[in-house]
């Protein structure tokens, strides 16, 4: 019975080739436009976010908040008469998917720029592609230092205080408040953990950390590491953890009757989600919880930015839970609006990049931004927050990085002007 | 067809495919490159499942083995400033060697047994992949994975074709080599041996065929093919991470094989196209529907999984020969319309 | 010392959950000669519904009842609605169809509930009971032991002391003879699936409180671990499943304590490879595995 089989194979092959070519070329090759994604009254930007998968719970609200902020801006007339069309694509925190969705955004949707791509491993995989294609890659949502390479990646800019800086700020606070205590680190088994460690050691010294333990996102059992920290007698534990694992660490330690001082990076310190994970015991377990932040805290009701963001959240975000992620998302939206305004009436991709590099952008944070021609990193430092009675509030301590040390920063934080829309 | 003719046919299809890259836009060329990578894996898997009855639920792990080998080799060669062709070709060699070795080990452990043991073993392998990447994090880069420095499109071509087109060429050529080699296998004595083992193991053994050797051999070959597919993925995406070679992806490969027509090479190609196109279609659907943002996010990705699951079940129950079987039935029916030649003389 | 006891307790608790899940696998294998690769997804689906009940009523007891009932219903649906139509020519067919069911279930759970972790809280404290300076097991761990022991004993009694159990064993062993003796074989098969899915769902519900929470993929790792346990104990042996489960739970805890949590899945893989190479029929099984 080989004859029909061979014939079928031949027919298959030919049908395959024809069908394949037809289907794959069903959309005509688009003309390369001078400024893709830009019309007289709108501008199209895109982002890749973990909307599904293990990172989703902590970070999915960010893009929703940014979208809400843009809705607010658009309702008030947009920037220079253009509405902002913000496309969010899911990569599930998987670099392989990031490759695909970013190519979709740039080659299919033809976005003008990419805003706030989230995740270190995910975004690293698209740096070459974005810069090769001249796409402005603004305000990456990650604390890696990889976004600050102006020579290699001229179109890429950071946003957060990078992990090394965070480590230095936290280290400084620890050396002042917890002098003499044994300090240890529990960090993610990648750049997040190693950069925080580097920052801490810059301030506390090469032997400042008594014990370092790591975890991997794919494995939720951290009992062994916590036991190790407990056995080493750690009194102050710095956490370079994403929110879920901050909760795991604190919760596991509590079960072991181990209650050290917890000091966390901003990436995993959002009080709202944390208390969701920890349940009823949250206020007790998180009492005295220290973290750093370069943006105002979500629970600071008397901060004008927070007031505005809450209003926008209620009106344009279906009154979603108001957490640090929402503040983050809206602050990023505001920064983009500032950059777009600075790029002028007829923005170009190069013009947008130049606008960011000019250093004129103020942002909405507690510390200044570092953008210049030689520096593509975002916030230069951070302040400290402490949790008391279930409220996470900033205390009056801020530092910015100066080379290998941090210096006190005491200028007032950026003021809210013109209803939160740059003009 | 003689072996030369078969290679000729494969080369002919390759030329057609490369011609197609000139009319496709960059995004579709990228998809074509991905499809080529999947074809490497699915063609090996199709033969493995269909001809030797071994179910590999974790085939992505062999792609991963190839991809990591590719990445480490390519990065090392980049540091050593190796010449262009070496930097392009040697990593693929590394990919196929490493993947074969891993495949042989797993094959030896599981191929001797009947039933679900091998399936469970490959499942354990693909689930352990993130753990392996993290435990040897210094080498494999943990969950974040590795960036791959590849040999890019040669400068003299930079005015003629785009990067994506070049990537598609690399993928298509590798896929053609894998496809061509397996097409030879399918018409070789090895295939007859596999058939014998499949039909009646005891009889095969009596004829001097070692079923274990046949099974393990095919397992190694399919792993090698998958490894080359992983190498292409590493080349095109310039990244390798455990998340790209997940259990879900392994199951997609299985879906591709079954939908296309298990046991056939043409089926493997159909299947690869299906698993690339269906997610594109479901994404287009979810974006077009006027849904609240959160539901839309949840549908994205998950809808494709549900669709594949349903197709898998339906195909297994109703049309086990898959797309290729349907095509064969169609051509068989066409053939029967022509006047029949004299019936063959009856055998005793 | 206290740490050792704590870890031992945690290991045994984890092992107990493995044992339960492996028992579910063994049940289906004995009843139908099918290795149920959909076990994880079916159990997680049942657990999600139990989670809804827990969140709605706050009663963990009600959640347990729910998971058993819903699990049984899912098992019924799978067997009657799907698995019985699979051509039994090749054992691969049922595995592939089961995988299809896994994909549908996992995808639907992702669509309906989202991919984020749903924390499951239990009414038992997870802090260890102290005897003097020694921290022994936590009340929750004890609860898990009790539940698993009850279920295992119940199933053992069912199979060895009741006529229903005898009928089930007969149908699996030789369905022709069983039919001749008046046993409704297809009904026994369905019952096997129902029992297995209910038990699997319970295992997931017990395991989840110790992790971040319930997610559509919670079943994957649990399935692989339980599958390994079932193989090591011997797919035919319920006793083997239980003993192997406990041993592997402790082994896993020891390994992760010594070398870090990441090593866990690798240890399982290595263990599986070794057992398959050396004694494929499992440690406790009396039958020889069918070799190639």
- The neighbours of chain B, by the rule of 3 or more Cβ pairs under 8 Å, are A, C
**Quick one: what percent of chain A has pLDDT higher than 90?**
54
- Residues in Cβ contact with B129 at an 8 Å cutoff, skipping those fewer than 6 apart: B60, B61, B64, B242, B245, B246
- What per-residue confidence (pLDDT) applies to C127? 67
Measured distance CA(B260)–CA(B272) in Å, rounded: 8
Q: What's the Cα-to-Cα distance from A39 to each of A42, A72, A137, A212, A348, rounded to whole Å?
A: 5, 20, 20, 52, 11
Q: Select from B23, B27, B267 the residue whose CB has the most chain A CBs within 10 Å, as the one to mutate to test that interface.
A: B27
Chain B residues whose CB is inside 8 A of the C268 CB are 124, 128
CA A177 to chain CA centroid, Å, is 28
pTM score > 0.90 for this model?
Answer: no
Over residues A360-385, the pLDDT tens digits come to 898 888 999 989 999 999 999 999 99
A3 pLDDT band, cuts 50/70/90, is very low
**Quick one: what percent of chain A has pLDDT higher than 70?**
91
Nearest CA to A45 among A122, A100, A103, A110? A110
Q: What's the Cα-to-Cα distance from A145 to each of A20, A98, A378, A405, B346, rounded to whole Å?
A: 42, 19, 10, 16, 79
Taking the domains of chain B in order of start, what are their residue ranges?
A: 3-244
- What per-residue confidence (pLDDT) applies to A17? 57
Residue A296 has pLDDT above 50, yes or no: yes
Measured distance CA(C263)–CA(A102) in Å, rounded: 33
Over residues A303-332, the mean pLDDT reads 91
- What per-residue confidence (pLDDT) applies to A22? 53
Give the count of Cβ contacts less than 8 A between chain B and C.
161
- What per-residue confidence (pLDDT) applies to A174? 95
Phi-psi region of A291 (alpha: psi -120 to 50; beta: other; left: phi over 0): beta
Chain C residues whose CB is inside 8 A of the A255 CB are 126-128, 138
Measured distance CA(A295)–CA(C73) in Å, rounded: 50
Over residues A136-180, the pLDDT tens digits come to 999 999 999 989 999 999 999 999 999 999 999 999 999 999 999
Distance from CA of B265 to the nearest CA of C (A): 19
Residue B279 has pLDDT above 60, yes or no: yes
Over residues A142-152, the pLDDT tens digits come to 999 989 999 99
| CB A243, CB A321: distance < 8 Å | no
Looking at the partner chain, which of A221, A244, A279 has a beta carbon nearest the beta carbon of C261? A221
Residue labelled with tokens 């599904």:
A52
Taking the domains of chain A in order of start, what are their residue ranges?
A: 42-161+301-379, 163-293
Q: Are strands A405-408 and A391-402 parallel, antiparallel or unpaired?
A: antiparallel
- Give the residue numbers in C contacting A (CB under 8 Å), as ranges: 3, 6-7, 10, 110, 114-117, 119, 121, 126-128, 135, 138, 211-213, 215, 256-257, 260-262, 264-265
Residues in chain B: 348
Cβ contact B131–C262 (<8 Å): yes
Over residues C270-292, the mean pLDDT reads 70
Chain A residues whose CB is inside 8 A of the C213 CB are 277
CATH class of A163-293: alpha beta
Measured distance CA(C114)–CA(B297) in Å, rounded: 9
Nearest CA to A231 among A268, A192, A258, A194? A258
Over residues C115-120, the mean pLDDT reads 76
Looking at the partner chain, which of B53, B121, B312 has a beta carbon nearest the beta carbon of C92? B53
Q: What's the Cα-to-Cα distance from B159 to each of B22, B23, B154, B155, B165, rounded to whole Å?
A: 13, 16, 10, 8, 12
**Quick one: what percent of chain B has pLDDT higher than 70?**
94
Over residues A233-253, the pLDDT tens digits come to 999 999 999 888 999 899 889
C131: part of which helix (H) or strand (E)?
strand C130-131
Over residues A83-102, the mean pLDDT reads 87
How would you write chain A as a 3-class SS string?
A: CHHHHHHHHHHHHHHHHHHHHHHHCCCCCCCCCCCCCECCCEEEEEEEECCCCCCHHHHHHHHHHHHHHHHHHHHCCCECCEEEEEEEEECCCCHHHHHHHHHHHHHHCCCCEEECCECHHHHHCCHHHHHHCCCCEEEEECCCHHHCCCCCCCCEEECCCCHHHHHHHHHHHHHHHCCCCCEEEEEECCHHHHHHHHHHHHHHCCCCEEEEEEECCCCCCCHHHHHHHHHCCCCEEEEECCHHHHHHHHHHHHHCCCCCEEEECHHHCCHHHHHHHHHHHHHHHCCCCEEEECCCCCCCCCCHHHHHHHHHHHHHCCCCCCCHHHHHHHHHHHHHHHHHHHCCCCCCHHHHHHHHHCCCCCCCCCCCECCCCCCCCCECEEEEEEEECCEEEEEEEEEEEECCEEEECCCCCCCCCHHHCCC
Chain C contact for A221 (CB, 8 A cutoff): yes
Looking at domain A42-161+301-379, its CATH architecture is: 3-Layer(aba) Sandwich (3.40)
SS3 C281: coil
3-state helix, strand, coil in chain C (%, to 5): 75, 0, 20
User: And the tokens for B320?
Assistant: 């086990």
CA B119 to chain CA centroid, Å, is 17
Looking at the partner chain, which of C7, C126, C211 has a beta carbon nearest the beta carbon of A220? C211
Chain B residues whose CB is inside 8 A of the C272 CB are 120-121, 124
A2 pLDDT band, cuts 50/70/90, is very low
Distance from CA of B11 to the nearest CA of C (A): 34
Q: What's the Cα-to-Cα distance from A65 to each of A68, A70, A274, C154, rounded to whole Å?
A: 5, 9, 19, 52
Domains A42-161+301-379 and A163-293 share a fold: yes
Cβ contact C110–B305 (<8 Å): yes
Nearest CA to A131 among A371, A353, A374? A353
Measured distance CA(A137)–CA(B71) in Å, rounded: 25
Over residues C20-73, the pLDDT tens digits come to 888 888 887 877 777 788 888 999 999 999 999 988 888 888 889 999 999 999
- Residues in Cβ contact with A1 at an 8 Å cutoff, skipping those fewer than 6 apart: none
Chain A contact for B312 (CB, 8 A cutoff): no
Residue A12 has pLDDT above 60, yes or no: no
Over residues A55-90, the pLDDT tens digits come to 666 788 899 999 999 999 999 999 999 999 999 988
Looking at the partner chain, which of A104, A120, A124 has a beta carbon nearest the beta carbon of B27? A104
Cβ contact C264–B131 (<8 Å): yes
| CB C224, CB C265: distance < 8 Å | yes
Cβ contact B114–C103 (<8 Å): no
| CB B238, CB B147: distance < 8 Å | yes
| CB B168, CB B21: distance < 8 Å | yes
A22 vs A271: which has the higher pLDDT = A271
- What per-residue confidence (pLDDT) applies to B177? 95
- The neighbours of chain C, by the rule of 3 or more Cβ pairs under 8 Å, are A, B
Burial level of B128, CB count in 10 A (0-12/13-18/19+)? buried
User: And the tokens for A297?
Assistant: 């805290």
Question: φ, ψ for residue A220 (rounded to 5)?
Answer: -90, 5
- What per-residue confidence (pLDDT) applies to B336? 65
- What per-residue confidence (pLDDT) applies to A217? 76
| Mean pLDDT of chain A, nearest integer | 87
Residue A225 has pLDDT above 70, yes or no: yes
Question: φ, ψ for residue B296 (rounded to 5)?
Answer: -60, -40
Rounded (10°) CA dihedral B262, B263, B264, B267: 10
- What per-residue confidence (pLDDT) applies to A30? 41
Cβ contact B297–A60 (<8 Å): yes
Measured distance CA(A112)–CA(A87) in Å, rounded: 11
**Quick one: what percent of chain B has pLDDT higher than 90?**
31
Chain C, residues 59-98, CB within 8 A of chain B, namely 82, 85-87, 90-93, 95-97
A291 vs B117: which has the higher pLDDT = A291
User: Which stretch, A21-35, A234-248, C158-172, has highest mean pLDDT?
Assistant: A234-248
**Quick one: what percent of chain C has pLDDT higher than 70?**
91
Helix and strand numbers, DSSP H then E, in chain C: 11, 2
- What per-residue confidence (pLDDT) applies to C177? 82
Q: Select from B253, B328, B329, B334 the residue whose CB has the most chain A CBs within 10 Å, as the one to mutate to test that interface.
A: B328
Over residues B289-322, the pLDDT tens digits come to 777 766 776 777 788 889 999 998 998 888 888 8
- What per-residue confidence (pLDDT) applies to A423? 77
Cβ contact C87–B320 (<8 Å): yes
Over residues B186-190, the mean pLDDT reads 88
Lowest mean pLDDT among A105-109, A130-134, C114-118, C220-224: C114-118
Q: What's the Cα-to-Cα distance from C215 to each of C40, C51, C120, rounded to whole Å?
A: 12, 11, 11
A26 pLDDT band, cuts 50/70/90, is very low
Chain A contact for B179 (CB, 8 A cutoff): no
């Amino acid at each position: 019975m080989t004859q029909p089989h061979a014939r079928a194979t031949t027919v298959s092959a030919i049908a395959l080739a024809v069908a394949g070519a037809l289907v794959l070329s069903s959309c005509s090759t688009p003309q390369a436009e001078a400024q893709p994604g830009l019309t007289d009254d709108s501008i199209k930007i895109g982002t890749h976010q973990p909307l599904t998968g293990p990172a989703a719970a902590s970070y999915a609200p960010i893009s929703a908040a940014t979208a809400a902020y843009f809705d607010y801006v658009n309702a008030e007339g947009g920037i220079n008469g253009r509405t902002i069309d913000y496309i969010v694509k899911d990569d599930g925190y998987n670099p392989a998917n990031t490759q695909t969705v970013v190519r979709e955004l740039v080659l299919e949707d033809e976005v003008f720029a990419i805003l706030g791509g989230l995740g270190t491993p995910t975004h690293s995989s698209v740096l070459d592609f974005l810069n090769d294609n001249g796409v402005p890659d603004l305000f990456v949502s990650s604390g890696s230092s990889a976004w600050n390479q102006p020579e290699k990646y001229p179109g890429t800019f950071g946003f957060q205080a990078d992990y090394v800086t965070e480590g230095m700020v936290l280290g400084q606070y620890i050396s002042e408040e917890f002098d003499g205590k044994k300090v240890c680190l529990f960090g993610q088994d990648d750049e997040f953990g190693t950069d925080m460690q580097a920052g801490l050691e810059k301030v506390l010294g090469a032997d400042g950390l008594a014990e370092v333990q790591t975890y991997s996102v794919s494995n939720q059992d951290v009992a062994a590491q916590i036991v190790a920290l407990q056995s080493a007698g750690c009194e102050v534990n710095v956490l370079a953890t994403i929110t879920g694992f901050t909760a795991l660490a604190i919760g596991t330690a509590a079960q072991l009757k181990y209650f050290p001082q917890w000091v966390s990076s901003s990436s995993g310190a959002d009080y709202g989600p944390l208390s969701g994970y920890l349940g009823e015991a949250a206020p007790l377990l998180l009492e005295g919880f220290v973290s750093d932040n370069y943006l105002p805290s979500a629970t600071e009701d008397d901060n004008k930015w927070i007031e505005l963001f809450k209003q926008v959240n209620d009106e344009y975000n279906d009154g979603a839970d108001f957490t640090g992620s929402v503040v983050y998302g809206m602050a990023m939206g505001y920064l983009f609006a500032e950059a777009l305004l600075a790029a002028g009436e007829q923005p170009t991709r190069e013009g947008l990049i130049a606008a960011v590099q000019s250093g004129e952008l103020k942002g909405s944070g507690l510390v200044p931004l570092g953008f210049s021609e030689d520096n593509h990193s975002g916030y230069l430092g951070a302040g400290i927050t402490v949790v008391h009675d279930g409220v996470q509030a900033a205390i009056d301590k801020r530092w910015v990085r100066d080379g290998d040390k941090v210096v006190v920063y005491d200028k007032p934080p950026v003021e809210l002007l013109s209803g939160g829309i740059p003009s | 067809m003689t072996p030369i003719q078969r290679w000729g046919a494969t080369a002919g299809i390759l030329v057609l495919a490369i011609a197609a890259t000139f009319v496709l836009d960059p995004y579709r060329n990228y998809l074509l490159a991905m499809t080529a990578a999947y074809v490497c894996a699915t063609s090996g898997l199709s033969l493995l499942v269909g001809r030797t009855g071994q179910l590999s639920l974790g085939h992505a792990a062999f792609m991963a083995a190839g991809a990591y080998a590719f990445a480490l080799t390519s990065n090392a060669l980049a540091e050593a400033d190796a010449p262009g062709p070496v930097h392009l070709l040697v990593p693929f060699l590394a990919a196929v060697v490493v993947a074969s070795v891993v495949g042989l080990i797993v094959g030896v452990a599981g191929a001797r047994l009947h039933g679900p043991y091998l399936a469970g073993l490959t499942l354990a392998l693909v689930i352990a992949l993130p753990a392996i990447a993290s435990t040897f994090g210094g080498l494999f880069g943990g969950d974040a994975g590795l960036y791959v420095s590849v040999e890019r499109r040669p400068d003299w071509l930079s005015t003629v074709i785009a990067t994506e087109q070049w990537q598609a060429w690399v993928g298509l050529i590798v896929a053609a080599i894998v496809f061509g080699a397996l097409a030879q296998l399918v018409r070789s004595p090895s295939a007859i041996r596999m058939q014998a083992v499949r039909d009646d193991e005891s009889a095969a053994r009596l004829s001097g065929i070692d079923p274990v050797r046949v099974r393990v051999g095919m397992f190694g070959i399919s792993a090698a093919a998958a490894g080359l597919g992983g190498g292409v993925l590493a080349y095109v995406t310039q990244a390798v991470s455990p998340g790209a070679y997940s259990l879900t992806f392994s199951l997609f490969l299985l879906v591709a094989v079954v939908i296309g027509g298990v046991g056939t090479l043409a089926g493997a190609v159909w299947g690869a196209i299906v698993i690339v196109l269906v997610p594109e279609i479901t994404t287009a659907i979810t974006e077009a529907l006027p849904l609240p943002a959160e539901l839309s996010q949840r549908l994205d990705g998950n809808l494709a999984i549900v669709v594949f699951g349903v197709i898998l079940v339906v195909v297994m129950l109703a049309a086990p020969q898959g797309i290729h079987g349907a095509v064969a039935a169609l051509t068989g029916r066409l053939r029967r319309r022509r006047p029949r030649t004299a019936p063959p003389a009856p055998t005793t | 010392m206290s740490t050792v006891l704590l870890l031992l307790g945690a290991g045994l608790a984890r092992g107990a959950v493995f044992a339960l899940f492996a028992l579910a696998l063994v049940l289906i294998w004995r009843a139908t000669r099918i290795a149920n690769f959909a076990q994880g997804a079916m159990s997680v689906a049942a657990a999600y519904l139990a989670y809804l009940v827990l969140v709605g009523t706050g009663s963990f007891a009600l959640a347990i009842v729910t998971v058993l009932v819903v699990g049984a219903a899912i098992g019924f649906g799978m067997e009657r609605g799907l698995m019985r139509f699979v051509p039994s020519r090749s054992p691969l067919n049922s595995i592939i169809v089961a995988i299809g069911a896994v994909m549908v279930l996992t995808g639907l759970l992702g669509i309906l509930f989202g991919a984020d972790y749903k924390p499951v809280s239990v009414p038992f404290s997870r802090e260890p009971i102290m005897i003097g300076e020694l921290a022994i097991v936590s009340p929750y761990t004890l609860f898990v032991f009790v539940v698993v022991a009850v279920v295992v004993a119940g199933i053992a009694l069912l199979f060895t002391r009741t006529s229903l159990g005898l009928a089930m064993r007969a149908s699996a062993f030789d369905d022709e003879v069983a039919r001749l003796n008046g046993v409704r074989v297809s009904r026994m098969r369905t019952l096997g699936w129902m029992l297995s899915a209910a038990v699997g769902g319970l295992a997931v519900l017990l395991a989840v409180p110790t992790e971040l929470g319930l997610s559509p993929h919670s079943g994957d790792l649990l399935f692989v671990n339980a599958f390994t346990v079932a193989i090591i104990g011997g797919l035919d042996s319920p006793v083997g499943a239980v003993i192997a489960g406990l041993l592997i739970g402790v082994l896993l805890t020891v390994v992760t304590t010594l070398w870090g949590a990441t090593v866990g899945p690798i240890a399982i893989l290595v263990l599986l490879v070794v057992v398959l190479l050396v004694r494929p029929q499992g440690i406790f099984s009396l039958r020889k595995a069918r070799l190639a």
